[in-house]
Amino acid sequence: MCVLSSVYMRRKVDSLPNKDDITFIIGGKTYTKKYSDTVLDGKLYIDMLLIAQYTDMKISGSESSVKFTADNDNYLRFEDGGTEAVINGSMVELGGTAMVSKDRCLIPYDFLTKAVGNGLRFILDTETNTVKVDRRMYATDNDDVFIPV
């Protein structure tokens, strides 16, 4: 389901047009967060716990360290205050600081779109301050090659 990859790109969210609340639509469920709680140091952050719940990842760890494991045993681990994530044993720069507590795991949006982007589709609408996350769907062509739909 959720394929992890260690590719990463950094980008600031200077293009968000205002400081209104940000709406996250994850698998059809809507979550509204304050701008000041999700845009930190010019970067958009997203709660990995919401993504994990949507993708049925296993969650383990403590209040300051959390591990997300996909059904194929690939995993991501974040430490509170850390600037790197562990992806399947490799350290990868986050491009920001992870904020881990018992009820949230905020990580940079750009990092997440690259780390779990193969199985999910992320759409950032800067006009409406909306982030939509859903499963990437595939179909097969005449040669049984999977193509995005």
Q: What is the pLDDT of residues 87-143, one digit of tens each?
A: 999 999 999 999 999 899 999 999 988 887 667 888 888 888 889 888 765 555 666
To the nearest whole percent, how much of the chain has pLDDT over 90?
A: 50
Amino acid 135: pLDDT = 78
Average pLDDT of the residues in 25-44:
92
The Cβ of residue 140 has, within 10 Å, a number of other Cβ atoms equal to 9
Q: Of the candidates 88, 2, 102, which has an alpha carbon nearest to the alpha carbon of residue 47?
A: 102
Pairing of strands 43-47, 39-40: antiparallel
Structure-model confidence comparison of residues 61 and 13, the more confident one? 61
Residue 10 clears pLDDT 50, i.e. is over it: no
